[in-house]
Chains A and B, each alone.
Chain A
Amino acid sequence: KAGVTQTPRYLIKTRGQQVTLSCSPISGHRSVSWYQQTPGQGLQFLFEYFSETQRNKGNFPGRFSGRQFSNSRSEMNVSTLELGDSALYLCASSLYGQGNGYTFGSGTRLTVV
């Protein structure tokens, strides 16, 4: 069974640009969650999607958005990038979500310069 696939693995963007990250969950999993990991704030919850609907959202500004497609693949978008958005972005997939065990991808490391 293929794991959670995140693309790209690394990304360098300039302040003010926007970026789109992609996540393909484990086949059959309908829940996709996104987390941001930084040295200062640690792991923080961004949002969770289930069957194409955003079910939960963390405390992040509106510049952070996401969506989920009918095949459960998910994308997250960050607009008007700031230096502080530099982080490892992790995607997690689960059969039904709701706080049960998740399988994480290897992450996308975003550097904003």
Chain B
Amino acid sequence: SQQGEEDPQALSIQEGENATMNCSYKTSINNLQWYRQNSGRGLVHLILIRSNEREKHSGRLRVTLDTSKKSSSLLITASRAADTASYFCASNSGGGADGLTFGKGTHLIIQP
């Protein structure tokens, strides 16, 4: 079953704008990961943030984690048309038990 929820479910912005997606999860985690999926193909790992980290950057991506609120956010700055995809957060409760628990995803559309 899905543990997390992404918000919003869909987001449409203009190229060059910033996109922010939020994710909530239910149980304590070891780490939280963000993945991108293009048109129902495989997932691409974007970034992993550990439970003792609050913020992480990778290129145009910025991820925050608030374990007290059981939430995370993904910010994509200076969006490009190629960023159009679905974005999923995936939580790991530690030890790999039950694998990764994915949220339902945010579908991001970048308008040229």
In the complex, number of A-B residue pairs with CB atoms less than 8 Å apart: 74
Q: Does the CB pair A56–B33 fall under 8 Å?
A: no
Q: Does the CB pair B104–A99 fall under 8 Å?
A: no
Please classify the interface of chain A as helix (H, G, I), strand (E, B), loop, or mixed, using the class held by over half of its residues. strand
Q: Identify which of B20-28, B40-48, B71-79 touches chain A.
A: B40-48
Q: Give chain B residues whose Cβ lies under 8 Å from the Cβ of A47.
A: 99
Check: A41 CB closer than 8 A to any chain B CB. Answer: yes
Complex formed: what's the CA distance from A101 to B95 in Å?
Answer: 13
Partner of B98, one of A42, A56, A97: A56
Q: Give chain B residues whose Cβ lies under 8 Å from the Cβ of A59.
A: 1
Check: A48 CB closer than 8 A to any chain B CB. Answer: yes
Output the residue of B1, B92, B100, B105 with the most chain A CB within 10 A.
B100
Q: Give chain A residues whose Cβ lies under 8 Å from the Cβ of B112.
A: none
- Near A by CB (< 8 A), chain B positions 75-107 give 88, 90, 92-105
Q: Give chain A residues whose Cβ lies under 8 Å from the Cβ of B97.
A: 56
Q: Does the CB pair A90–B43 fall under 8 Å?
A: yes
